Structures are given as C-alpha cells and as structure tokens.
Amino acid sequence: MRKITFLYIHFARIAIRAATAHRSAFWAGVVGQWLGYGATFATLYIMVNTFDVLAGWNADEMIFMYAVNLLSYAIAATFFYNPATTLSTKIRTGEFDGALTKPVHPFLHEFYTGFNFGYVSHISLSLAAMIMASVNVGFSWSPLAVLTFLAMLFGAILVQAAFLIAVSSASFFLIHENPFFELSYTIQKFTQYPIAIYPLFLQIVLTFVLPVAFMNFYPASAILGKDSGAFASVLSRWTPIAGILLFALSVLLWNWALSKYQSAGS
C-alpha cells in the first residue's frame, strides 16, 4: 500500500509541475474559472432571492447546495476526470493497450496517470462560497456539524466519481468520442435546484434511477438540516452509503467493459 501511495504522489507531483510550468497561463485559467462559476453563483443567488425561497430553500442555502455540488465534483474530477474523458481517445489510437502491459491493473494505471491540478480553482471558489453562505444562514460549525459535513462530502465525491467512471466505461464499446458525457452533464443540470421543485416521478428518477440528487441535494439537506422533497427526511444522511455503493458498482461496470474490450492489436 505504501508503494502504491508513493507512486500516485509521484505522478501527482509531475502533473502539478506540468500544470504550473507556465504560471501566467495557469493563473489566467484559475481566474477564468472563478469568473465563470462566480457568475453562476451570482445568477442563482439573484434569481432565488427575487422569489425569497424556492421549495423551502432561500438564496444562501441554494448557494451552499450548489457549492457542495461544485466542490464534490472538483475533488472527484481532480482524480478521475482525465482518466474518464481521455479513455476513448486512448482506445481509438491504441495508446490504452500500453496500460494492459503494466504490472498494475489497467484501472489503477489510468487512475495513477490522470491527476488534474487545474481543479484547484473550482475547489477554492466553492469553499469560499460555502463559507460565506453558511455564515449568512447562521450555520454553526460545531464538531458534530463538521463530521457530518465531511461524511456527506465524502459520499458526494464518490457519487461524482462513480458517474465519471460509469460513463467512461462506454468508451470500450465505441469507436469515436463517448457521447454519454454530454448526456451526463445535461442530466446533472437538474442538481442546480432542489429536486423538491420537480414532480414526484422526476424526484424518484433523480434519486433511484439516475441518483444525481446524492451529488448535492441530499448532502446539503443533511448538513443544513432540511427535509424538503419526498425523500430528504429519510435518505439525506445515507449519502455516504450511496456513494460507496455507486462507486463500487461503477468500478465493477468498468472492469466488465474492459473484459469485452478488443485491443488494437487483436
């Protein structure tokens, strides 16, 4: 385990050095992400504040929920975005076949070499927005609240990672680019708002069929103590369990798809 950890840290250091080699370009990218997502935060706040509340959530609570989504996605994407989104290209060019010859499992090989330092901008912005929103709603960061936050964030990160891994598994069956990423991002747009605003049928879909609600709605509900929606009072604190199960299932799906893979040399 120590060797595995050391190996990953080594690859991560290389990725950080590569990302910061041209510092002006790196910081320009960070500022660009702050401005882009900052505009989304501002638009969301203004819209909800105009109507006072949305499905029982005020503007600051909405900002907190969106920040949970951005933070969990950024942390998950730091480790899994590159391995997931570049897989189809590697398969098409035959580069992925190199992973099959390494002394580690192909999934671990892709994971080791996929660290993305660029999401530091998303992480810093989401943490800042979350802190400001929690202050505005009078949230008390007691030891229990911190533990709850960390547990819910852990679960949300695993859900975000599970979606990236599961969607990327389709690349083993596709010759060209994987179109399911765009579909996945479209579905996740439903998480910008509390799922309580949607009809019961859609709440069921977003909870049990395509469980994107565990990316931010249920975690934020557990952290802030809210129970809007059909299932929040029962399921919100189950986010860590949902994350572990979904992550495990996504890895199993990825390995099953790998077993069906026909390499470039076959």
Query: Going residue by residue through the chain (266 aa), what tens digit of pLDDT does each one get?
Result: 565 566 666 666 766 676 666 667 666 777 777 787 888 888 888 888 887 888 889 999 999 999 999 999 999 999 999 999 999 888 888 888 888 888 788 898 888 778 888 888 899 999 999 999 999 988 989 999 999 999 999 999 999 999 999 999 999 988 778 888 888 888 888 888 899 999 999 999 999 999 999 999 999 999 999 988 889 888 999 999 999 999 999 999 999 999 988 775 54
| pTM above threshold 0.95 | no
Is residue 39 situated within a structural domain? yes
Q: Is residue 264 part of a domain?
A: no
For residue 1, what pLDDT is reported?
55
Instruction: Please indicate, yes or no, if residue 265 is contained in any of the structural domains.
Output: no
Residue 10 lies in a domain: yes
Asked, for residue 266, whether it belongs to a domain, the answer is: no
**Each residue of 5-60: pLDDT tens digit?**
666 666 667 666 766 666 676 667 777 777 878 888 888 888 888 878 888 899 99
- The predicted structure's pLDDT at residue 54: 85
Is residue 96 within 8 A of residue 90, CB to CB? The reply is yes
235: domain range? Answer: 2-259
- 260 C-beta neighbours (distance < 10 Å), count: 9
Q: Which residues pair with 10 in a beta bridge?
A: none
Element (H, E) at 53: strand 53-54
Helices 217-224 and 59-85: crossing angle in degrees, nearest 10, is 140
**Number of neighbours of residue 122 by Cβ within 10 angstroms:** 21
pLDDT in tens, 77-99: 999 999 999 998 888 888 888 88
Provide the pLDDT for residue 8.
65
* Count of the separate structural domains present in the chain: 1
Whether residue 120 is contained in a domain is answered as yes
Predicted pLDDT of residue 6? 65
pLDDT of 43 = 84
Within-domain flag for 112: yes
Question: What is the DSSP pairing of strand 53-54 with strand 57-58?
Answer: antiparallel
Cβ proximity of 89 and 145 under 8 Å: no
214 part of a folded domain: yes
78: enclosing H helix or E strand: helix 59-85
In this predicted structure, what is the pLDDT of residue 101? 84
- Cα–Cα distance for residue pair 179/81, rounded to 1 Å: 15
Question: What is the pLDDT at residue 240?
Answer: 97
In angstroms, rounded to a whole number, what is the distance separating the alpha carbons of residues 194 and 213?
8
